[in-house]
Structure 1
Amino acid sequence: MHEMSIAMAVIGQVEEAAEAGGASAVTSVRLQVGELAGVVPEALAFCFELACAGTLLEGAELVTEPVPARAHCRSCTGDWAVGMPPRLVCPGCGQATEVELRAGRELQILSVHWEDGPARGRPPVPTREPISEER
């Protein structure tokens, strides 16, 4: 199941950005998932939940936004929903060589929401105070 490797890659990228931003916890991640990306959103959500354990993303909500596959014919300038299985022949003129896939392959992080402050369940980073010598 490649959804686990996708979930782990998303978690790695989000955790890196969240730590750099001083986050204590990530509350949600929004992904755009194209119809032709080869990803099953339910499987991705399951894997995401498992892979988040013990990270800044533990308990975070994964929101997937589907992107329907769309194509364009350069010959007749027609646009259509590609569907599944993909129909890459223009329904208007029958052309197959002048077809351009315009949407449906997306797999990207759209947004991340996190909480600022020291990480939950992690001890605060100690600060060093100057040592004063009193005699």
Structure 2
Amino acid sequence: MHEMSIAMAVVGQVEEAAEAGGARAVTLVRLQVGELAGVVPDALAFCFELACAGTVLEGAELVTVSEAGRARCADCPAEWAVGMPPRLCCPDCGRAGGVELVSGRELRILSVTWEDDPDGGPGRTREPISEEA
């Protein structure tokens, strides 16, 4: 299950940033997941919880923000939602060559919220901590 390797990579990157920022506890991680990234959100959430155990992220909430897959035709001005399974032929001119995916493959940490006040005061949010997970 590649969701576990993704979860471990996200936890590793967030843990590194949180430690550098003096975090006491990470409470929330927002992750952008493209429709075409091949990630099952429920499986990722399960794996994320397991990967967080024993780290500064233990108990953190994972919020996934879905990004629709979109494509653009190189031969005409058309841009469209590709859906699942992806429709990679231009709906306007019918051409399949030169189709460019413009969104939907993202896997990006959007923001992280952590507590850094030793008295349990409000945490802070850092956006983004990295380009790709």
Same fold (TM over 0.5): yes
Q: Does 1:19 align with 2:4?
A: no
Bigger CA radius of gyration = 1
Which 5+ residue runs of structure 2 have no aligned equivalent? 121-133
Residue 117 of structure 1 and its aligned partner are, at CA, apart by 4.0
- Provide the secondary structure at the position in 1 that maps to 2:28: strand
Which 5+ residue runs of structure 1 have no aligned equivalent? 121-135
The AA in structure 2 aligned to 1:82 is V
- Percent of aligned pairs with the same amino acid: 77
RMSD: 1.2
What residue number does 2:126 align with?
none
Residue 100 of structure 1 and its aligned partner are, at CA, apart by 0.8
What residue number does 1:82 align with?
82
- Provide the secondary structure at the position in 1 that maps to 2:24: strand
What residue number does 1:41 align with?
41
What residue number does 1:112 align with?
112
Q: 1:58-89, CA deviations, whole angstroms, 9 ceiling, x for partnerless residues?
A: 00000000000000112111011101111110
TM-score (norm 2): 0.87
Pairs within 5 Å for 1:63-82: 63-82=63-82
TM-score (norm 1): 0.85
Runs of 4+ residues deviating >6 angstroms = none
